[in-house]
Structure 1
Amino acid sequence: MTSAIRYRRDIDGLRALAILPVLLFHAHVPGFSGGYVGVDIFFVISGYLITGIIAREVDEGRFSLVRFYERRFRRIMPALSLMILAVLAAAAFLYLPGDLEGVPKSALAATLFASNLWFFTDTGYFSGGADVKPLLHTWSLAVEEQYYIGFPILLMLLARFAPRWRTMVVAGIAALSLAIAIAMQRDTSGFTFYLLPTRAWELFAGALLALGALPPLRSRWLRELVAWIGLAAVALAVIFYDRNTVFPGVTALAPVLGAAALIHAAPGTAIGRLLGWGPMVGVGLISYSLYLWHWPLIVFTEYATDLPLSGGTRVIVIGAALLAGTASWRFVERPFRDAQRMPARAIFRFTGGAMALLCLLSLGLVAMGGWPSRFAPQVLAQMAGQTDFAPSRKQCHDSYMRGARPCTLGANVPPDAMLWGDSHGVELAYALSLAARAQGRSLIERTTSSCPPVLGYDAKDPRCAAANRAAFDAIRADRGLKRIYLAAFWANGDFDDPGFVAKLDRTIAAIRAEGREVVLIGPVPPQPFDVPRHLAHLARAGHLAEAHGVDRTWVEARTVHLRALFARWQAKGVRLIDPIAALCATGRCAIEQAGRPLYFDSHHLSVAGAQLVTDAR
């Protein structure tokens, strides 16, 4: 039997508990490093509420797919359509050509509820580039709508052919989805994060509650205990998870089961009264619109300022998001959800018209290819730095992960050197190969994303250790390799840990024990902005002469232990190529030279930058 679904203030309060951590996480507010789990809470709430409605109507013999999708369109499309339209307009005004190109493509995907599929192929949630994708957050809406394509039909079929097995079948599918999510939790492609098969169990968790899979808790003290445990599970995830947490998978159990516990046990408890508190309910009521508007406001603000939100700007943007969410709820959501003011036929006409308009606008912008005619040539010249990466990058990088042979660069002769590193090594390998070709030599490139050349390094992707072991074995097997270059994102903030430095120390010693020369390529100074974009913004404002990067002292403070290790090995005869010395000779690190950006993003050297560094050795 389904449990009766009636209005519960505490569930609106739970929506607030979902949206506020998401907002504060995206706004970089300290203490909310795991705020992204708010999306998982939304999934549980949605599964509970929508399943309760569908199952009750199916049981009563009055369920209609047409009426169901009418309600979904009323709830989703008006506010979503307005937000997408505003994003297209703002991006067309603000974005540089290379950044604009992806926006209409994502708008098209969001309009068709396929943005999770688009972003799965385009970017990771926490990877570089996400900060200029103002519709990235629509992936979760796509997951929900894809779920609701098949789920009502499943419940209808079960009611007709196997009514007694309904809960068990739903539980079995949920268990299968969870098992897939756990099995793939270390997958780095984005499949587990973005796609329905590994997210469905979170919606099913709420669905099972609505289907009465758990008996009601009669004891007051037990309800209080379960509610407190649920709140603690959610809070711990919000506070202690971060961008490095392997998620989703096992780690998603805490926020999902915590949300389910609150739905099941909170009524009549102290936690239930807290969730039913007026301000919590108020935020919960605007949570959908707030979710829609907060991310574009953050993305566009950070894009315009070339800085992450902080201080007063952060307060202003959070306030603007709350105002936009409130206005959208009051003047868009509520009128369209009123069947008296907006009958069903009008909703379907609106939805069809809005989707057609957004698709046409998106396709038009796609055809314009970034609309470069909006900008002066000097602006476009700086933005072109985003593509100044090694022509061999696509073919040669991550060769181990793709099961391909590593590339040999330079002259057509047996290699006498290898560059072993992470993605920072790609352009450095290419720059070194240009010099090698001129000398009639060649070198092997072995670079693996997010995988520094350190034996025993324990990364999120377990294949990193295998890739490093394969690189070292290749060094041992090829006596023709006389020189080994080591390159990585040493200044990323994590690699200066003494434990990591000790592993690097042992790796250098192991290579030298094989009789090979080691050349250390030191830390590349990371910048707080995308360098070509920042330079293009300065050129647009006529202030390109003011371009500069971070202070040298900041980079040096970030890499104290690593630089001490490098100096120690340099004293023993190991060669050092020092990007800090090459780029930061004046105290402020250079980010452009002769009109060319020295980076193609915030921390990867462009070909121009790599040549500057390697020529200065």
Structure 2
Amino acid sequence: MGLRPGARSMRSNPNGQPILTGYQPDIDGLRAVAVLAVILYHAGLVWIPGGFVGVDVFFVISGYVITRGLLREAAGGGIGLAAFYARRIRRILPALTATLAVTSLAAWWILLPPQFEDYAGSAAASALSVANLYFWRASGYFDAAALYRPLLHTWSLSVEEQFYLVLPVSLLLALRLRLRPLLWPFALAALLSLGLSLYAGRAAPTANFYLLPTRAWELLAGTLLAMAPPARTMPAPALRRIAGLAGLALILAPSLLYTEATPFPGAGALPPCLGTALLIRLGEGQGPRGAATRLLAAPPLVAIGLISYSAYLVHWPLIVLGRIALMRDFTTPETVAVIGATLLLAALSYRFIERPFRHPPSPARRMRPVFAGGLLATLVMAGLGWAGATSGGLPGRFPDFRLRPVAGSETWNHRTCFLFADQSWQAWDPEGCVRTRAKDGLVLLWGDSFAAHYVPGLIRHADRLPGRLVQYTAAGCRPVLGTNSHVLPHCRAFNDNALALIRRLGIRDVVLAARWGAQRDRALPERLRETVAQVMALGARIHVVGQSPEFPLDPAFLAYHQRRDPPEDAGRWRPVEGLHLNHALRAALPAGAAFVDPAAALCAGGTCPFARGETFFYADTGHLSSAGAALAVERFLEAGLFAPPRSAAALP
């Protein structure tokens, strides 16, 4: 909830302690830092791989501002729940409804039926403030599919709205029960939420990311800050400067150093949340400002902070729909243009939508029309979303589009040789996962689904393998030792067991394959090198298959867009960025380890085949079909997948 600019003053809270009223420009500066981190991260800038922590900064700010407003009301005579929710409707709903409406029109023109079906379901969930529940059930935040969901970012808005349903009632109840000191029950709730988040980080990581019970502690951190008594004395100017810079560092360091492999939220969210709380606290104080507070109060940051809500709303639909429309990643100039368009649209939204609804003339402040208008807008957007989802994505828009199944993953032996996130390595079947016969020796295929998708091809070319194929694969588990995955916590034990498996079965050849670029993990090449060295120390030969091509859309969508192209041009498309990672992986391998670059084996002229005639080589944006796996393995064998390793002297 925003605060109008004005003179700062003090008022007593229900505990008899003074509370601040008025406007803190440095809070808008913090909002700017948060929204810029998120936008730059979503735009794909590699130097800010942890920009997702901007959402956590927003959570702390929201908890603080909302609680401070409620305490101010309580000090002035009592909390009016109807008035509070009317303000929330005026603050949140107009810009959200406008964004949903414009995004839905664009999606109607751009998205093919399966894409629009998913979009429509998420639009209905966003309108009803349950988007976090929708995406929790549908995917993880860092999944490849998430890159093409235009409303994924609304999960955080739903978390906040759910918190706003609980906080005023809880605060009103605590006041009527005369609980003293007031912050203790909320501190207990924050500790319970943090403890649940730490537990869920391993037991239910996707739920941990999306759901209010495990995120509430971040919002409650702001609540506790608003309830805390003001400092009796201000720290010395030098100490204030150091504390301010430390607060900024606690936000900026995670933004620059965290990756999608960092366990998050839970303990990983503590630094940005503590840094935000520290900066807000420093901004409360009277007297000279420290450097960090002055920086955050600078007019350019304040200006971006004022439009941060609209900027957050519009940035992700622009990015996603732009990628889908272009059917490729943005170039650098296009990325700059998207960021600029985000800020421009946000400024227009703030000027012509947010401000008029947030601060209407006095006669328009009656609550009944606000509730009626909010209910109508919500029902209309939810109803339209429901209609789009239940119709199968309004297929009449593209009557000649057909989606047909593509063979591939049914050969992976799900839950036996390809383990799911809810399974431990003990579920793997040693006998059932020997996939080929009639040869001496064993070849271990170790990795994630991007290793499993080679299984049909390896079976097809079993006679050319140096031994029987043993499939050891698990969803999301890159074959790298010692790496924790907050999304898939079972991966560490799964990977550690691979060494025991190689030793126990006397495996002679090990093939490592994965979606190596799945997370922005700058330490990956070195971790792969260490893994390869440990496997080679067991006497096994190592064959690493690099990152395979991925496309911006499913092959059915690409084929539809190429339906009028000449036959010699159809069936090929430029892959998304990420294949350059193969150079770093190859360079990191120790002498004696073989490496196959799928891009070099499969692609030419900057494009890669995704189909030949009616035969699709991919089952989705990146997983090979059975036909694609057969082609890929054949090319890999020709490229020397199982050829004798070169000596160290022969390496470049």
Of 549-558 and 520-529, the range deviating more from structure 2: 549-558
Q: Does 1:340 align with 2:356?
A: no
Q: Does 1:239 align with 2:256?
A: yes
Asked whether the 8 Å contact 2:408–2:456 carries over to 1, the reply is no
Which is richer in helix? 1
Q: Does 1:458 align with 2:474?
A: no
Amino acid at match of 1:398: L
Q: Secondary structure at the match of 1:243?
A: coil
The alpha-carbon deviation at position 144 of structure 1 amounts to 0.9
Q: Does 1:428 align with 2:428?
A: no
The alpha-carbon deviation at position 352 of structure 1 amounts to 0.9
The aligned counterpart of 1:226 is: 243
Distance (Å, rounded) in 2 between the aligned partners of 1:400 and 1:233: 32
Of 81-90 and 400-409, the range deviating more from structure 2: 400-409
The aligned counterpart of 1:497 is: 525
CA spacing shift, 1:539–1:376, aligned 2, 3 Å = farther
The aligned counterpart of 1:405 is: 427
Asked whether the 8 Å contact 1:552–1:588 carries over to 2, the reply is no
Asked whether the 8 Å contact 1:531–1:591 carries over to 2, the reply is no
The aligned counterpart of 1:318 is: 339
The aligned counterpart of 1:390 is: 410
Q: CA RMSD in A?
A: 3.6
Q: Secondary structure at the match of 1:165?
A: coil
The alpha-carbon deviation at position 137 of structure 1 amounts to 0.9
The aligned counterpart of 1:515 is: none
The aligned counterpart of 2:6 is: none
Number of residue pairs the alignment of both structures matches: 598
Q: Secondary structure at the match of 2:472?
A: strand
Of 230-239 and 71-80, the range deviating more from structure 2: 230-239
The alpha-carbon deviation at position 421 of structure 1 amounts to 2.4
Amino acid at match of 1:190: T
Percent identity over the alignment is 35
TM-score by length of 2: 0.81
Q: Secondary structure at the match of 1:154?
A: helix
The aligned counterpart of 1:506 is: 534
Asked whether the 8 Å contact 2:62–2:222 carries over to 1, the reply is yes
Distance (Å, rounded) in 1 between the aligned partners of 2:608 and 2:561: 17
The aligned counterpart of 1:172 is: 188
Amino acid at match of 1:249: G
Distance (Å, rounded) in 2 between the aligned partners of 1:62 and 1:25: 42
CA spacing shift, 1:507–1:494, aligned 2, 3 Å = farther
CA spacing shift, 1:155–1:426, aligned 2, 3 Å = same
Of 161-170 and 138-147, the range deviating more from structure 2: 161-170
The alpha-carbon deviation at position 42 of structure 1 amounts to 1.3
The aligned counterpart of 1:445 is: 471
The alpha-carbon deviation at position 580 of structure 1 amounts to 5.4
Distance (Å, rounded) in 2 between the aligned partners of 1:355 and 1:176: 33
The alpha-carbon deviation at position 342 of structure 1 amounts to 5.1
The aligned counterpart of 1:467 is: 494
Distance (Å, rounded) in 2 between the aligned partners of 1:608 and 1:22: 39
Q: Secondary structure at the match of 1:445?
A: strand
Asked whether the 8 Å contact 2:435–2:468 carries over to 1, the reply is yes
Q: Does 1:305 align with 2:350?
A: no
Asked whether the 8 Å contact 1:70–1:344 carries over to 2, the reply is yes
Asked whether the 8 Å contact 2:420–2:475 carries over to 1, the reply is no
Q: Secondary structure at the match of 1:402?
A: coil
Distance (Å, rounded) in 1 between the aligned partners of 2:276 and 2:58: 9
Amino acid at match of 2:223: A
CA spacing shift, 1:587–1:73, aligned 2, 3 Å = closer
**After superposition, where does 1:451-600 map in structure 2 within 5 Å?**
451-453=477-479, 456-460=481-485, 463-474=490-501, 486-489=512-515, 497=525, 500-508=528-536, 510=538, 512=540, 520=543, 522-527=545-550, 529-530=552-553, 532=555, 535-536=558-559, 538-539=561-562, 542=565, 545=569, 547-549=572-574, 557-561=583-587, 568=592, 579=598, 582-584=601-603, 589-600=608-619
**After superposition, where does 1:258-277 map in structure 2 within 5 Å?**
258-266=275-283, 268-269=288-289, 270-277=291-298
Asked whether the 8 Å contact 2:446–2:510 carries over to 1, the reply is yes
Q: Secondary structure at the match of 1:4?
A: strand
CA spacing shift, 1:148–1:569, aligned 2, 3 Å = closer
Distance (Å, rounded) in 1 between the aligned partners of 2:162 and 2:453: 41
Amino acid at match of 1:405: A
Q: Secondary structure at the match of 2:446?
A: strand
Q: Secondary structure at the match of 2:180?
A: helix
The alpha-carbon deviation at position 55 of structure 1 amounts to 2.4
Distance (Å, rounded) in 2 between the aligned partners of 1:278 and 1:472: 57
CA spacing shift, 1:322–1:541, aligned 2, 3 Å = farther
Q: Does 1:352 align with 2:375?
A: yes
Of 364-373 and 526-535, the range deviating more from structure 2: 526-535
2:169 to 153, 168, 178: 153
Amino acid at match of 2:31: R
Q: Point out where structure 1 has 5 or more consecutive residues left out of the alignment.
A: 513-517, 571-575
Amino acid at match of 2:179: P
Distance (Å, rounded) in 1 between the aligned partners of 2:85 and 2:133: 22
Asked whether the 8 Å contact 2:57–2:273 carries over to 1, the reply is yes
Distance (Å, rounded) in 2 between the aligned partners of 1:217 and 1:596: 74
Q: Point out where structure 2 has 5 or more consecutive residues left out of the alignment.
A: 1-14, 638-652
Q: Can you list the C-alpha shifts for 1:124-145, whole angstroms capped at 9, x where unaligned?
A: 2222111111111111111111
The alpha-carbon deviation at position 402 of structure 1 amounts to 1.3
CA spacing shift, 1:508–1:391, aligned 2, 3 Å = same
Of 103-112 and 365-374, the range deviating more from structure 2: 365-374
Amino acid at match of 2:326: T
Q: Can you list the C-alpha shifts for 1:162-199, whole angstroms capped at 9, x where unaligned?
A: 43132122122212222333344456732222111221
**After superposition, where does 1:40-439 map in structure 2 within 5 Å?**
40-185=56-201, 189-213=205-229, 215-219=231-235, 221=237, 222-266=239-283, 268-269=288-289, 270-337=291-358, 338=360, 339-341=362-364, 343-375=366-398, 377=400, 380=402, 389-390=409-410, 392=412, 394-396=414-416, 397-399=418-420, 401-403=422-424, 405-406=427-428, 408=432, 419-433=445-459
The alpha-carbon deviation at position 555 of structure 1 amounts to 7.2
Distance (Å, rounded) in 2 between the aligned partners of 1:283 and 1:490: 36
Amino acid at match of 2:490: R
The alpha-carbon deviation at position 463 of structure 1 amounts to 3.2
Distance (Å, rounded) in 1 between the aligned partners of 2:252 and 2:510: 47
